[in-house]
Amino acid sequence: MDLTDFSLVARTESADQTKQVAAALADQLQPDDAILFTGDLGAGKTQFVQGVAAQLGVADAVTSPTFNILISYQGGRLPLHHFDLYRLEDPDELDDIAFFETVEGGGASFVEWSEKFPDHMPEDALHVDMGVVLERPDSRVIRAFAEGTRAEQLLAAWTAAL
């Protein structure tokens, strides 16, 4: 994908900065919003979700859902669903974890490893790609683009809030 396909590009220099960028998005979230992450292990996706959770007012510590596949957090401004699809092998398993019912169930959903099943993800979604910067261990590049009308609204609101 060409860089010009991304509508938002932000560079952060620490995990805390990534959480601040995420907090700005958290303030714009509405029920049923879907955020689809791409990016390697260690890119900062879980740190990003931690920033969202803190800003939503989730009291629980957010840990990586790699082994649980889905962890949901109540008690914030809206329910937060944190998926990690890394360990799924077949898209049919999305039904087993009630993926679509959960995503459409009134909360905000963040999906790590969405690139595993690109043809089975929500159509209206904000795509967030995270990448490391060579030779700079604490730098990350966050790139986002919207697919669908709600995701476009969300991206615009997020961009304005940064």
List of residues contacting ligand ADP (CB under 6 A): 12, 14-15, 17-18, 39, 41-47, 64, 112, 138-140
Task: Write down the least CB distance from residue 4 to Mg ion, Å.
Answer: 27
CA dihedral in degrees (42, 44, 45, 51; nearest 10)? 150
Residue 68 binds to Mg ion (criterion: CB under 5 A): no
- State the Cα–Cα distance between residues 156 and 8, nearest whole angstrom: 9
Residue 64 binds to Mg ion (criterion: CB under 5 A): yes
43: tokens are: 């890119």
- State the Cα–Cα distance between residues 73 and 127, nearest whole angstrom: 21
70: tokens are: 């889905």
Binding mask 13-42 for Mg ion (x = CB under 5 A): ------------------------------
Minimum CB distance to ligand ADP smaller for 20 or for 153: 20
C-alpha distance across the termini of the chain, in Å: 24
Residue 45 binds to Mg ion (criterion: CB under 5 A): yes
Interface with Mg ion (CB under 5 A): 45-46, 64, 112
